A and B are shown apart, each in its own frame.
Chain A
Amino acid sequence: MTRPIGIILLGALAVLAVGPRVAWPADPPRAVEGQAIDPDAELIVALADDTNNMDPRIGMGSIRSNYIRQVFESLVDVDAAGKPQPGLALTWRAVSDNVWEFTLRPGVRFHDGEPFNADTVLFNFDRMFRKNLDKWGIKDVPAGASYEKLYPMVTRWEKVNDATVRVHTSEPVAMLWDALGREPLVPKAYTIKHGVEALNERPLGTGPWRMVEWKRKDSMRFERWDGYWGPAPLVKRMRFQTIPEGAARIAALRAGQVGLIEAVPPIDAAGLGRDPAFKVVSAAQKLGCRLYLNGRPKDKYDSGGRDGLFAEPRVRLALNHAINRDAIIKKIFGGYAIANASPVATVMYGYAAQEPYAFDPARAKALLAEAGWRDTNGDGVADKGGEPLTLQLHFPAKHYGQAFDEMTAAVVEMLKDVGVQVVVKPLDFGTLLQVLNKGTLPHNGGFTACRTSNSVDAEDQVRDWATFTLVNWTPFPPDLLALYQSSRREVDPAKRLRVLADLQKQIRDWAPVVPLYQEIKLYAHSARVLRFAPLPELHMDFRGVAIRK
């Protein structure tokens, strides 16, 4: 009896979240915030890197998303707070336990005039699930996310009418709207006619910006698309300029040669912020950096017959209490990071705040002793049965940036203080991936790495310990796995939030990883740039941004 009510509530929630986007009047505004703006201006945005490709199917990592989401749009959009908003779908709702329905926005066209409709969505679902590729005559591409493997419970999708699509599943999937809804959609006729390579070379989406020129590793130029269904951008042209070096980005901003820069090093933020010619803004991100520990059973990696040394939750909990996160955030990140004990980023739907792991070395040592690890020979290293408590820490140097590298060094010292002998093994990120992929992490191994998400819903982050993947080295015990699966199936929004909160608490107490920090990303822009609001997403949204005359 409760399930139908839950479904209706979920549907209502989705519909409430939906409101027609307010379109500008016929003439775009000439002033915002009481200041005259220049609608013909060019906004130059300095980014740390260029995208490798523009086909959303290949992947939506943090660099690619910034480029791809200017041109392509998805069914579900997000607002500045990261809350789901209608995008190419006006509403999404579960019409029954096993059926989701998307109502599409009418009157939307791709940049070449091709209409967006239910056929477009079905074609994109075909690509996502690798179905009917031969029928459409298009190639498969190596993809970041394999939907057919992630969501095997999705059985089929159908067109109800030009503006309605239904997706059928073999079991309830509460977050399907998010899983399918955040993938940017490509035009059907254009892709079939020109092949998937064309999406990379000459991408055409429904987004507010048309790509007009792409000089690889240099810049990408966009023009406002006047056929956009929503409010037209308030600047005519935009250029994404690659400037890899942080100091050079800041110099370019100070020289007035770019209007906005991303990834401002925390150490430079204060100086820029004091200058009235610039504004520094920030947004919490979904990126969480963690210390992963080998807690796999011996049959689940190249173990040499030994279970992972960190299978015992008390040991992992001890390591959590050994870390002084406040000091790391204050000293290394200048305050621009978050200590988050939940496995879910603070900006995701379903996040529930968890009790922080207190920095308490005495408690850490006590927990280690409870687990049988004591310093029996006075050498400062805990041991058990003659084996010292050693962590072989694989550390992807120079991959996540200087602050991450400094943080890892600090973490090593903190772990040593509670009796863990840490052997640091710096290696390049590709080599780390090979180790994780081949399962050759030592039984006492661990690694520091960061994890982000392209989704809105907490499910994307709590599933990390459900199946064996590159980052899952401490699989859920049966009770937690069951709780996780129930969170996936619960379609009643209120109940699901409660299940998710309970799951997060239990994961926090079970401590599969040592969460280190959640990223806060810093941006700086000229004071002439108005209304830029950073998102807790992987991309930036320039739809409302204007340049003062």
Chain B
Amino acid sequence: MRSFLLRRLLHALVVVWGVVTFVFFLVRLTGDPAAFLVDPTATQAEIEHTRRLLGLDRALGVQYADFLFAIGRGDFGQSIQTRRPALHVVMEHFWPATAVLAAAALVLSTVAAVPLGVLSATHRGGWVDHVSRLASLLLQSMPAFWLGIMLILFFAVELGGLLPAYGSGSLRHLILPAVTLAAAPLAQNVRLIRSGMLEVLGEDYVRTARAKGLAERGVIYRHALRNAALPVLTVTGLSLGFMLSGAIIIETVFSWPGLGRLIVQAVPGRDFPVIQAGVFVFAVIFVAVNLGVDILYTVLDPRVRLS
């Protein structure tokens, strides 16, 4: 286990270094932010002065070396737009806003999916199954933008402000964005669990368990679900990455001050330090989530060995 973790950590370091290096050079290929910071009526001399102030007039290799040394100290430089430490800017958007929203959506999309998927599979062809499949189809087809606006109009406007239309900071603020963010992954998980359950319910070991006289609940939840849940775990890992990094539409509709909108605004503004710090955080999250999923796999399926 220890050697596995060490190997994965080394692998993670290489991945993160590769990603930040790639992004460092990629963003610079698209030009620099000096022209963004000056008035459109600025002359070339004014733009050059701004480039010098930002240190962008130095050789690219020098900038890269400085960058590598600095990130070793956790210093990603100052945000060009806000003139504040870039990593601090990224982290204050990550925690709590993005982390809480992603966690809430993840819990909703997995916890609710299990009974719905199981019910749908165990009542195959019945009305529960039909309703579950139809609802899943609808939730997956609805654009998050549209669903969000509809939820706002219903819960905030039609129901006289039952839930807030915007903002963050309380459980009431969290409900609508979390539901919107969870909708598509929830539907996906329900369908995955349903199809996985249908597959394993016909397996020999399930028949054996039933023949041994185990209660149906035990057969389903202890034997069948454990195997049916493996694909869900993989998808959930990917979904978590998406929820942490790419909830831009949800953040825009609900004015949620998260990481997605920050990074998306930093890209056209050529705010290099924020882009680099943001990508670094995303890379670390993705690597950590993937590692977590791998470890969970071994718990759920003893046939998978870390070696």
| Chain A residues proximal to chain B, CB less than 8 Å | 46, 52-53, 55, 58-59, 140-146, 149, 197, 200-201, 215-219, 241-245, 247-248, 251-252, 254-258, 399, 428-431, 433-434, 436-438, 449, 451, 463-464, 467-472
Contact = CB atoms under 8 A, between A and B. Distances in A.
B31 A437 contact: yes
Contact of A254 (B45, B46, B157, B261): B157
A248 B253 contact: yes
Given A218-B257, A257-B156, A248 B165 contact: yes
Contact of B40 (A146, A215, A470): A470
Contacts of B261: 217, 244
B43 A58 contact: no
A142 B54 contact: yes
A184 to B, nearest CB: 16
9 contacts: A52-B82, A53-B83, A145-B39, A243-B255, A251-B149, A255-B161, A258-B166, A430-B268, A430-B270
Contact of A434 (B30, B37, B54): B30
A245 to B, nearest CB: 5
A244 B252 contact: yes
Interface of B: 30-47, 49-50, 53-54, 80-84, 89, 92-93, 148-149, 152-153, 156-157, 160-161, 164-168, 252-255, 257, 261-262, 267-270
A216 B93 contact: yes
Top 4 closest A-B pairs, CB basis?
A434-B31, A218-B257, A217-B257, A433-B35
A431 B39 contact: no
A48 to B, nearest CB: 10
A320 to B, nearest CB: 21
Contacts, number: 153
Nearest to B256: A218
Nearest to B258: A217
Contacts of A472: 41
Contact of B268 (A428, A438, A463): A428
Contact of B166 (A149, A243, A463): A243
Nearest to A472: B41
Given A144-B37, A197-B83, A251 B255 contact: no
Contact of B46 (A149, A243, A244): A149
A143 B44 CA distance: 14
A471 B40 contact: yes
Contact of A431 (B31, B81, B156, B164): B31
A149 B37 contact: no
A258 B164 CA distance: 11
A242 B261 CA distance: 12
A245 B165 contact: no
Given A248-B165, A254-B157, A200 B40 contact: no
Given A248-B149, A469-B42, A242 B255 contact: yes
B165 A470 contact: no
Contacts of B50: 142-143
A142 B82 contact: no
Given A243-B255, A257-B166, 13 more contacts: A53-B82, A59-B37, A141-B53, A197-B83, A215-B257, A216-B92, A218-B168, A251-B152, A251-B165, A252-B166, A256-B161, A257-B161, A437-B47
B301 to A, nearest CB: 42
> Which of A52, A201, A215, A429 has the most C-beta atoms of chain B within 10 angstroms of its own C-beta?
A52
Contact of B153 (A197, A251, A429): A251
A176 to B, nearest CB: 17
Contacts of B53: 140-142
B268 A470 contact: no
A470 B253 contact: no
Contacts of A399: 268
Given A255-B156, A430-B270, A469-B40, A437 B255 contact: no
> Which of B161, B165, B252 has the most C-beta atoms of chain A within 10 angstroms of its own C-beta?
B165
B49 A146 contact: yes
